[in-house]
Amino acid sequence: MNRRIKLYIFIIGVILITFGPARCWAEYDVIDITKPFLRKIPLAVPLFKNVSETAEEKQLSETAADFLSDTLEFTGYFKILDRGSFLFDPERSGVTMSTINFQNWTVVGAELLVTGFYEAEGDRISVELRLFDTFKARRVIGKKYTGSKTNQRSIILRFCGDVINYLTGNRGVFGSKIAFVSNGSGNKEIYTCAFDGYDPRRLTNNNAITLFPAWSTDGKWMAFTSYKAGNPDLYIRNLGQGQETKFSKQGINITPAWAPGKFELAATLSFSGDQEIYLLTGAGKIIKRLTNSRGIDVTPSWSPDGKQFAFVSNRSGSAQVYIKDLASGKVRRLTYEGRKNTQPSWSPRGDKIAYTSEVSGGHDIYVIGIDGQDPVQLTYESRDNEAASWSPDGSLIAFSSSRDGPSRIYVMTAYGTDQRRLLVLAGEQTNPKWSTNHLNN
Amino acid sequence: MKDTKHAYARRYHGKDPNSHSMVFPFGVSFLFHLVIIAALIFTPEFGSGSKFRAGVVNVSLVSLPSPGPDSGGPAAAVVKPKPVEKKSPQKPAVKIPEPKPEPKPEPKPKPKPVAVVKKPPEAVSLAPKKKKIKKSLKKKTLDREKIINSAIERIEKKVEKTRTDSVAAAIDRLKRQVGEDESQVGKGSGETSGKAGAGRAGPVGGFGTGRARIQESILIYQAEIQYQIQKNWAFSQQLAGENTQLEAVLAIKILRSGEIEDIWFDKKSGNAYLDDSAYKALVKSNPLPPLPKDYMRPDYKIGLRFGPKGLKNE
Amino acid sequence: MQKKLWLMIALLLVIPGLLFMVGCQKKAVTQAKAPAPASAPAPAPAPGQAPAKAPTPVTPSGPSGMIMAEDIFYDFDRSLLTPAAQDNLMRKAAWLRANPKATVTIEGHADERGTNEYNLALGDRRADSAKAFLVDLGIAASSLTTISYGEERPVCTQQNEECWAKNRRAHFVVN
């Protein structure tokens, strides 16, 4: 009797104890912190410490430090702190772990710190660059780079790649290029420049309308459309050797897009009497037809795994973005908002598609999830903002904008912040296409 | 270098293996309870069943201090879980006597809202007496049990009620004070019972109404520090990846001077970058404003839930 | 209203006229004159051609003359032939029949609104629809080629409807 009662008591006691305090695990209030005041990492890049005090070395060193700041700022991840606010001058004291007082940096708000130790001798330069986490008082990168003076840019870019790799696991955009169309020479031709607009160069000399540059994944080939033979024909050029394969059929041969990692490309051809998307080899042979509907099907953009592509079709009455899955052959419509949606560009991260939407007064760039949810408007300027092209790591978008009058190439973050002009050339620049980050680095 | 590189990448993009979950500690404490209760019930010879006696003894003592949202709030809230988790013999017992010793011997050298360490000695000091009583009452265990259980329930209800009363009073006071301090409290006018200014989620823990006992000055203080910490928080959604549901819960212990004595994680988000940025925001916020004058304790603990919620809300 | 009436008359006259095209040039001239005022509003944005057209009667057997130099125009974002366009094409067909050795390049154009590639496709469709219509009227397909220029070769660059309407055209080049 007693025993059974004890058992009951035991059970009741257990239940009470279990459910009584079950709700509680913290004994203090919790308040919400939801809005970071700064949406970037505060980074300090003080001037480098120089081995000698020659004016020339100082000049080169300062250029290097400035270029490093500018390049990291270009990524949109960092807020570069003003050197005037620094309490600590590595030029005079130390740049290494043991000689830095991290409090000096945390106090001015820096969470990351880059220091440099610079030497220029003859034609050679060597620079030790270090990245510190000031709050953890830890050095996270430390490398010595050497090269000739003319290599200074690529040395700094290599370090920037190391920094971004530390933060994100990939090397960022510093080895990539942007191709675009410019008509400064009197005709639209294709040009290329570095990711930050440095060193723009003319690629084609067709003296005829040339459009739609497309980089192959390995960066060795460029496809484009040109009227140099009197018709909008497709050309596939080997960038190293310069020879071209021509693909010319009656009608239009436009908007080439290389399949990721393959020597194949999709393009819109209308020789059949209708504008459809086809798959071709890099040597210009048709493999198969990819779309099958009356009406316009144009501007293919591959998913990073090459299993699907987005494209524009007016099969439902107005130009909208669709996605086709190669294996199943299924086509689904992606955009339902906006009366005309064109120029899809699939993010290299695979999850989003940027596109151009017609709005009153012009065009704006939107981004939508591949599930079709939540289209977000990224540009709000009047006039035209079009032809979005993602950076290889999916963090930035290049596009063309006529917000200042003539059309120019702009760059912004994937969230639409930090919109800035990339470069200015004679005439108008349009149709940017960002390459992969394969080039050196 | 390569290893570090990948290791850090993994840290940023992988789930934190140490991410906090209450299941494990709860499970452990539950088992511990079972063992102890079993011991208590089935081996009364060892005379550690003092919980019953304590319950009986303290029923009459549980007249919680009248609506003064004194600092007893969080502490009282603590009463239930903490002592239960940590103290061995007197678990349910300890939770009852808590409210009593609290208001009186208040300014002790190291009183914390979670002042578990302090409390048991008091309980223990009562225990010996109770032990004696218990022994004599051993034969009446059955009745004792029932009385204890119903006493527990009654006490809970009473505490609830008292707190409800104090909520109403606190609300009135807050309304007045918050109305004056518009700028500090943000949109806080009329928002009380746990909400001070913009975005405060209210306490997690204790009774639902526990927060009502917090002084309005504390609520205002919370709004101040929320503002200061947000100002010091640098976070790039891009670097954290696309997940806008990330949440890290940290907690700090603030001394009277406003100095932050300790920072720790209650719940990591699984994203090392967010956790780091939250930690740095707290380090940068040191020192916070001094604690309010009418807050009697020597330090104040508070939790902070960092949840960026993406840029769309901007 | 009047336009419609004129069009109906024109059609009534033209169709039998086509049937007797070979021997009845005079009749063709008369018929060509009749619809002229009706189709005037459509090609109005091409002032260069209008005055030249009205006073001078079109001579089907003449040099690749006025009729072939006239552009036809399209509605926004459309490649359908408007009645005025069809009308014009019928007159072109008459000339082509009279000049069977002539070959023609039909250029499709679009206004600058919309994106390049889409406009290239649109120009393509416009040129194709004009060609198809002529082929239906009996012109040999082999004598007609099409090319699209999209928005790449505008005749004007103002940002207004008047200019845009001028650019939405098919242009005919006799080789």
Q: What is the pLDDT of residues A164-178, one digit of tens each?
A: 999 988 899 999 999
Tell whether A81 lies on the interface with C, counting CB pairs under 8 A: no
Counting the structural domains of chain A, the total is 2
Per-residue pLDDT band at A360 (split at 50, 70, 90)? confident
Q: Compute φ and ψ for B197, nearest 5 degrees.
A: 65, -155
pLDDT for residue B145 is more than 80: no
A376 domain residue, yes or no: yes
Which one of A251-255, B43-47, B94-98, B286-290 scores highest in mean pLDDT?
A251-255
Same domain flag for A216 and A155: no
Same domain flag for A242 and A368: yes
Which of the pair, B149 or A421, is modelled with greater confidence? Answer: A421
Same domain flag for A393 and A420: yes
Task: Please name the residues in contact with C165: beta carbons below 8 A apart, sequence gap of 6 or more.
Answer: C45, C73, C111
Does B249 sit within 8 Å of A40, measured CB to CB?
no
A326 domain residue, yes or no: yes
A214 domain residue, yes or no: yes
Does B4 sit within 8 Å of A40, measured CB to CB?
no
Yes or no: say if A378 and A397 are a contact pair by the CB < 8 Å rule: yes
Yes or no: say if A229 and A242 are a contact pair by the CB < 8 Å rule: no
pLDDT of C49:
39
Q: Averaged over A68-90, what is the pLDDT?
A: 90
Q: Of B47, B111, B115, which is closest to residue B78 (Cα–Cα)? A: B115
Question: Which of A401-410, B274-283, C6-15 is the least confident region?
Answer: C6-15
pLDDT of C8:
67
In a mutagenesis test of the B interface, which of A2, A31, A38, A347 is the best target, namely the one with the most B β-carbons within 10 Å?
A31
Structural domain that includes position A216: 177-434
Mean pLDDT of chain A: 92
Same domain flag for A343 and A367: yes
Cβ within 8 Å of B, A 141-180: 141, 143, 165-169
pLDDT of C114:
85
Q: What is the pLDDT of residues A378-421, one digit of tens each?
A: 999 778 999 999 999 999 999 999 999 999 999 999 999 999 99
pLDDT for residue A129 is more than 90: yes
Same domain flag for A288 and A430: yes
Tell whether A131 lies on the interface with C, counting CB pairs under 8 A: no
pLDDT of B166:
52
Same domain flag for A143 and A182: no
Tell whether A82 lies on the interface with B, counting CB pairs under 8 A: no
% of chain A at pLDDT higher than 90: 78
Question: Which of A35-49, B241-255, C9-23 is the least confident region?
Answer: C9-23
A439 domain residue, yes or no: no
Q: Of C158, C159, C157, C149, which is closest to residue C71 (Cα–Cα)? A: C149
Neighbours of B296 (CB within 10 A): 16
Yes or no: say if C75 and C164 are a contact pair by the CB < 8 Å rule: no
Same domain flag for A155 and A207: no
A129 domain residue, yes or no: yes
Q: What is the pLDDT of residues A318-355, one digit of tens each?
A: 999 999 999 999 999 999 999 999 999 999 999 999 99
Q: What is the pLDDT of residues C90-145, one digit of tens each?
A: 999 999 999 999 999 999 999 998 899 999 999 999 999 999 999 999 999 999 99
pLDDT of A95:
83
What pairs with residue A331 in β-bridges?
A: A324
Residue ending a domain, choose from A150, A168, A186: A168
Q: How far is CA B304 from the centre of its chain?
A: 12
pLDDT of A18:
61
**Nearest chain A residue to B240, by CA:** A168
CATH number at residue A281: 2.120.10.30
**ipTM score of the complex?**
0.85
Pairing of strands A286-289, A297-302: unpaired
Does C122 sit within 8 Å of A358, measured CB to CB?
no
Q: Find chain A residues with C-beta within 8 A of C76's C-beta.
A: none
Which of the pair, A435 or A29, is modelled with greater confidence? Answer: A435
Question: Which of B48-62, B138-152, B267-281, B286-300 is the least confident region?
Answer: B48-62
Per DSSP, B96 falls in state T
Per DSSP, A229 falls in state T
Per-residue pLDDT band at A26 (split at 50, 70, 90)? low
pLDDT for residue A23 is more than 90: no
**Nearest chain B residue to A378, by CA:** B312
Q: Averaged over C46-66, what is the pLDDT?
A: 47
**Nearest chain B residue to A393, by CA:** B238
Does C118 sit within 8 Å of A319, measured CB to CB?
yes
Same domain flag for A290 and A416: yes
Q: Flag whether C touches B (3+ CB pairs, 8 A cutoff).
A: no
Residue ending a domain, choose from A168, A189, A215: A168
Does C146 sit within 8 Å of A254, measured CB to CB?
no
Does B91 sit within 8 Å of A31, measured CB to CB?
no
Q: Of A42, A196, A193, which is closest to residue A113 (Cα–Cα)? A: A42
Per DSSP, B115 falls in state -
- Find the CB nearest B229 among A5, A29, A33: A33
pLDDT for residue C169 is more than 50: yes
A203 domain residue, yes or no: yes
Per-residue pLDDT band at A99 (split at 50, 70, 90)? confident
A239 domain residue, yes or no: yes
Yes or no: say if B236 and B276 are a contact pair by the CB < 8 Å rule: no
A315 domain residue, yes or no: yes
pLDDT for residue B129 is more than 50: no
Q: Of A309, A304, A305, which is closest to residue A325 (Cα–Cα)? A: A309
Which one of A33-42, A409-418, B9-18, C50-59 scores highest in mean pLDDT?
A409-418
Q: What is the pLDDT of residues B113-123, one digit of tens each?
A: 433 334 434 43
Measured at the alpha carbon of residue A430, what is the angle toward residues A425 and A432, in degrees to the nearest 5? 100
Same domain flag for A245 and A106: no
Neighbours of A40 (CB within 10 A): 22
Rounded to whole angstroms, the Cα distance separating A285 from A306 reads 19
Same domain flag for A211 and A142: no
Q: Find chain A residues with C-beta within 8 A of B6's C-beta.
A: 169
DSSP string, A172-183: TTTT-EEEEEE-
Same domain flag for A145 and A13: yes
**Nearest chain B residue to A12, by CA:** B149
Per-residue pLDDT band at B110 (split at 50, 70, 90)? very low
Work out the minimum CA distance from A51 to partner chain B, whole angstroms: 26
What pairs with residue A247 in β-bridges?
A: A234
In a mutagenesis test of the A interface, which of C103, C111, C115, C151 is the best target, namely the one with the most A β-carbons within 10 Å?
C115
**Nearest chain C residue to A268, by CA:** C121
Tell whether B35 lies on the interface with A, counting CB pairs under 8 A: no
Please give the domain boundaries of chain C with CATH numbers for all domains: 1-41 (no CATH), 72-174 (3.30.1330.60)
pLDDT for residue B130 is more than 90: no
Q: Which two tokens stand for residue A364?
A: 């704006």
Kind plus residue range of the DSSP H or E element containing C49: helix C49-53
pLDDT for residue C21 is more than 90: no
Per-residue pLDDT band at A431 (split at 50, 70, 90)? very high
- Find the CB nearest B305 among A33, A35, A351: A33
Measured at the alpha carbon of residue A131, what is the angle toward residues A125 and A137, in degrees to the nearest 5? 140
Yes or no: say if A303 and A346 are a contact pair by the CB < 8 Å rule: yes
Does A17 sit within 8 Å of B84, measured CB to CB?
yes
pLDDT of A10:
75
Question: Which of A182-186, B69-73, C155-159 is the least confident region?
Answer: B69-73
Residue ending a domain, choose from A112, A144, A168: A168
Q: Averaged over C81-87, what is the pLDDT?
A: 95
Does C152 sit within 8 Å of A254, measured CB to CB?
no
Q: Find chain C residues with C-beta within 8 A of A342's C-beta.
A: 114-115, 117-118
Same domain flag for A322 and A416: yes
Please report all neighbours of A, defined by 3+ CB atom pairs within 8 A. Answer: B, C
Q: Of A436, A430, A321, which is closest to residue A390 (Cα–Cα)? A: A436
Per-residue pLDDT band at B204 (split at 50, 70, 90)? very low
Pairing of strands A362-369, A276-281: unpaired
pLDDT of B6:
46
* Pairs from A146-152 (Cβ < 8 Å, separation ≥ 24): A148/A123, A148/A124, A149/A60, A149/A120, A149/A123, A149/A124, A149/A125, A151/A125, A152/A60, A152/A63, A152/A64, A152/A67, A152/A125
Tell whether A140 lies on the interface with B, counting CB pairs under 8 A: yes
pTM of the model: 0.69
Q: Compute φ and ψ for B312, nearest 5 degrees.
A: -65, -25
Helix axes B23-42, A2-19, angle to 10 degrees: 150
pLDDT for residue C58 is more than 60: no
Question: Which of A328-337, B86-95, B150-159, C137-146 is the least confident region?
Answer: B86-95
pLDDT for residue B188 is more than 50: no
CATH number at residue A129: 3.40.50.10070
